[in-house]
Amino acid sequence: MSRIGVFVCHCGENISATVDCAGVAEAMSRVPGVVHSVDYKYMCSDPGQTMIKDAIKEKKLDGVVVSACSPHMHEPTFRRACAEAGLNPYLCEMANIREHCSWVHEKSEATTLKAIDLVHKMVEKVKKNQPLYSIKVPVTKTALVLGGGIAGIQAALDIANAGHKVVMVERSPSIGGHMSQLSETFPTLDCSQCILTPRMVEVAQHPNITLYTYSELESMDGFIGNFKVRIRKKARCVDEKLCTGCGLCTTKCPTKKIPSEFNEGLGMRSAIYVPFPQAVPNKPVIDKTQCTFFLKGKCKVCEKVCPTKAIRYDQEDEIIEVDIGAIVLATGFNVLGAEHFPEYGYGRYRDVIQGLQFERIASASGPTSGAIRRPSDGTEPETIVFIACAGSRDEAKGIPYCSKICCMYTAKHAMLYKHKVHHGKAYVFYMDIRAGGKMYEEFVRRAIEEDDVKYIRGRVSRIYEEDGKLIVKGADTLLGHQAIEIRADMVVLASAAVANDGAEELAQKLHVSYDPYHFFAEAHPKLRPVETNTAGIFLAGACQAPRDIPETVSQASGAASKVAALFSQSELTREPVIAVVNRIAPPLYSTCTGCALCVPACPYQAIEMEEIKNRDGVVVKRAAKINPGLCQGCGTCVALCRVKAIDLQGFSNEQVFAELMAL
Amino acid sequence: MQDKIIQKAKELLSGGAVQVVIGYGQGTGDRVRAIFIQKPEDAGRLIMDGRCVQNLAGYLMKHEVRALGRAAIVARMPVLRSIAQLMYEEQFKDSDVAVIGISDANELVDLPDLNALKEYVRANPLKLTPEEQAEVDRLDAMTREERWAFWMEETSKCIKCYACRASCPMCYCARCTVEVNQPQWISVPSHDLGNLEWHIMRAMHLAGRCVNCGECTRACPVGIPLRLLNQRIIADIADNFGEEEDYALAAFKPDDKEDFIR
Reported as a single tens digit per residue, the pLDDT across B145-161 is 999 999 999 999 999 99
Any CB–CB contact under 8 A between A634 and chain B?
Answer: no
Closest CA to A19 of A101, A123, A118, A95: A101
Domain membership flag for residue A239: no
Contact assessment for residue A594 and residue A605, using Cβ atoms and an 8 Å cutoff: no
Sheet holding A454-457, edge to edge: A352-354, A490-495, A383-390, A425-430, A454-457
Q: Are residues A407 and A365 in the same domain?
A: yes
Q: What is the pLDDT of residue A57?
A: 96
Q: What is the pLDDT of residue A135?
A: 87
Query: Alpha-carbon distance B160 to A210, whole Å?
Result: 66
Query: Alpha-carbon distance A365 to A183, whole Å?
Result: 8
**CA-based Rg of chain B, rounded to a whole angstrom?**
20
Domain boundary among A476, A498, A520: A498
Sheet holding A92-96, edge to edge: A34-40, A4-9, A63-68, A92-96
B174, B176, B251 member nearest A588 (Cβ): B174
Domain membership flag for residue A242: no
Element spanning A621, H or E: strand A619-626
Q: Are residues A654 and A621 in the same domain?
A: yes
Closest CA to A570 of A325, A328, A227: A325
The amino acid occupying position A484 is I
The amino acid occupying position A115 is A
In A291-369, the DSSP E strands lie at: 318-324, 326-329, 333-335, 352-354
Helices (H) then strands (E): counts for chain B:
10, 5
Query: Alpha-carbon distance A232 to A321, whole Å?
Result: 9
Bigger pLDDT: A284 vs B257: A284
Contact assessment for residue A28 and residue A8, using Cβ atoms and an 8 Å cutoff: yes
The angle at the Cα of A573, spanning A571 to A579, to the nearest 5 degrees, equals 125
* Cis peptide leading into residue A173 (ω within 30°): no
Reported as a single tens digit per residue, the pLDDT across A643-663 is 999 999 999 999 999 999 998
Domain membership flag for residue A202: yes
Q: Are residues A627 and A655 in the same domain?
A: yes
Closest CA to A599 of B36, B247, B139, B234: B247
pLDDT of residue A628 exceeding 80? yes
Flag if A597 and B250 touch (Cβ within 8 Å). yes
Count of beta carbons in the 10 Å neighbourhood of residue A258: 18
Reported as a single tens digit per residue, the pLDDT across B53-72 is 999 999 999 989 999 999 99
Q: Are residues A485 and A506 in the same domain?
A: no
pLDDT band at A630 (very low <50, low <70, confident <90, very high): confident
Reported as a single tens digit per residue, the pLDDT across A518-565 is 999 998 888 899 999 888 999 999 999 999 999 999 999 999 999 999
A:488-507 residues touching chain B, CB 8 A cutoff: 504-505
Q: Give strand pairing partners of B72.
A: B21, B98
Q: How close B86 comes to chain A (CA, Å)?
A: 8
3 state SS of A630: coil
Spatial neighbors of B253 by CB under 8 A, at least 6 apart, are none
Domain membership flag for residue A240: no
Domain membership flag for residue A267: yes
Domain at A40, CATH number? 3.40.50
Q: What average pLDDT does the structure give for chain A?
A: 94
Q: Are residues A622 and A652 in the same domain?
A: yes
A:639-658 residues touching chain B, CB 8 A cutoff: 640, 642-644, 653-654, 657-658
Reported as a single tens digit per residue, the pLDDT across A224-272 is 899 999 999 999 999 999 999 999 999 999 999 999 999 999 999 999 9
Query: Alpha-carbon distance A150 to A154, whole Å?
Result: 6
Q: Are residues A419 and A518 in the same domain?
A: no
Any CB–CB contact under 8 A between A586 and chain B?
Answer: no
Flag if A644 and B180 touch (Cβ within 8 Å). yes
Contact assessment for residue B73 and residue B21, using Cβ atoms and an 8 Å cutoff: yes
Domain at A643, CATH number? 3.30.70.20
Contact assessment for residue A98 and residue A8, using Cβ atoms and an 8 Å cutoff: no
> How confident is the model over B130-149, as a mean pLDDT?
93
Domain membership flag for residue A574: no
> How confident is the model over B99-119, as a mean pLDDT?
90
Q: Are residues A18 and A127 in the same domain?
A: yes
pLDDT band at B254 (very low <50, low <70, confident <90, very high): low
Domain boundary among A115, A133, A151: A133
Flag if A658 and B252 touch (Cβ within 8 Å). no
Q: Are residues A488 and A471 in the same domain?
A: yes
Report the domain count for chain A. Answer: 5
Q: Are residues A367 and A326 in the same domain?
A: no
Q: What is the pLDDT of residue B125?
A: 87
Domain membership flag for residue A355: yes
**CA-based Rg of chain A, rounded to a whole angstrom?**
31
Domain at A466, CATH number? 3.50.50.60
Flag if A657 and B183 touch (Cβ within 8 Å). yes
Domain membership flag for residue A311: no
List CB contacts (< 8 A) between A599 and chain B.
Answer: 250
Any CB–CB contact under 8 A between A608 and chain B?
Answer: no
Flag if A658 and B180 touch (Cβ within 8 Å). no
Domain boundary among A446, A477, A498: A498
> How confident is the model over A184-193, as a mean pLDDT?
94
Q: Are residues A602 and A532 in the same domain?
A: no
A593, A640, A658 member nearest B172 (Cβ): A593
Q: Are residues A207 and A153 in the same domain?
A: yes
Q: What is the pLDDT of residue A36?
A: 97
Q: Are residues A122 and A28 in the same domain?
A: yes
Query: Alpha-carbon distance A558 to A552, whole Å?
Result: 10
Domain residues for the domain of A586 are: 579-661
> How confident is the model over A5-10, as a mean pLDDT?
97
Closest CA to A179 of A201, A207, A148, A158: A148
β A190-191/A209-212 pair status: unpaired
The angle at the Cα of B123, spanning B121 to B129, to the nearest 5 degrees, equals 80
Contact assessment for residue A540 and residue A328, using Cβ atoms and an 8 Å cutoff: yes
ipTM given for this complex: 0.91
